[in-house]
Amino acid sequence: MKPALLAAVVLAGTLGTLPSHAGPTQTAVLETYAAQAKVAEPGFAGFSVERGKALFLGRFTTGKPDTPSCTTCHTTDPRKEGQTRAGKVIGPMALSAKPDRYGVLAEAEKWFARNCDSVLGRACTPREKGDFISFMVSQ
Ligand code: HEC
């Protein structure tokens, strides 16, 4: 079996069958978050595209007042370009629109740390990160 296919099978076994454009690098990142989520939440039963979508679209009052939602910068359409508060262009979040997304754990971690703090006023949990990426790789 090819490594990519094997990874997809392992991921399906760990995470349930998710609609996905994920390649081996995104799969590896998702597997890391799944392993962390199992430790953090004994009842962890896999990531959810629907929960990831809800996190992406949700509005929060616990973070900074000028960033109540991920969509403040990323827009409500993951396939579209977004914009920072300063007006700098942000590439699309959907993996289909920007295939180099979510393949480097350190990169994902850096931006989850920053953006979850801005929007939620706290760190995202491993499950939330996996849900978010699961949604974005399905787009
Ligand atoms: C203040 C503007 C802003 C908000 C609000 C924001 N982001 Fe981002 N986000 C950025 C910028 C800027 C980047 C880095 C530029 C890029 O990757 O194109 C980024 C990148 C990311 C990445 C990195 C993706 C990769 O390529 O690995 C993730 C993950 C992410 N954001 C998640 C979130 C989540 C989850 C939320 C809501 C909880 C959120 N962002 C809210 C500005 C924002």
Please give the chain's pLDDT, 139 residues, in tens: 455 544 454 455 455 556 689 999 999 999 999 999 999 999 999 999 999 999 999 999 999 999 999 999 999 999 999 999 999 999 999 999 999 999 999 999 999 999 999 999 999 999 999 999 999 999 9
- Length reported for the chain: 139
- How many independent structural domains does the chain possess? 1
pLDDT, residue 9, reads 45
Q: Which of 70, 41, 42 is nearest to 56 (CA)?
A: 70
- Nearest atom, ligand 1, residue 93 CA: 24
CA distance 130 to 89: 25
With a 6 A CB cut-off, is 107 part of the ligand 1 pocket?
yes
As a whole number of angstroms, the distance between CA 21 and CA 134 comes to 10
Is the shortest distance between the CB of 72 and ligand 1 below 6 Å?
A: yes
Comparing CA positions, the residue from 28, 10, 31, 8 lying closest to residue 20 is 8
CB 60 within 8 A of CB 124: no
pTM for this one? 0.91
| Domain extent at residue 59 | 3-138
Q: Which residue has the tokens 């609609």?
A: 19
Residue 20: per-residue pLDDT? 83
> Given the structure tokens 């890391």, which residue do they identify?
32
| CATH code of the domain containing 85 | 1.10.760.10
pLDDT at 45: 93
Distance from the alpha carbon of residue 115 to the mean position of ligand 1, in angstroms: 6
In this prediction, residue 130 carries a pLDDT of: 97
Spatial contact of 72 and 119, defined as CB atoms under 8 Å apart: yes
The reply to whether ligand 1 has any atom less than 6 angstroms from the CB of 85 is: yes
CB 84 less than 6 A from any atom of ligand 1: yes
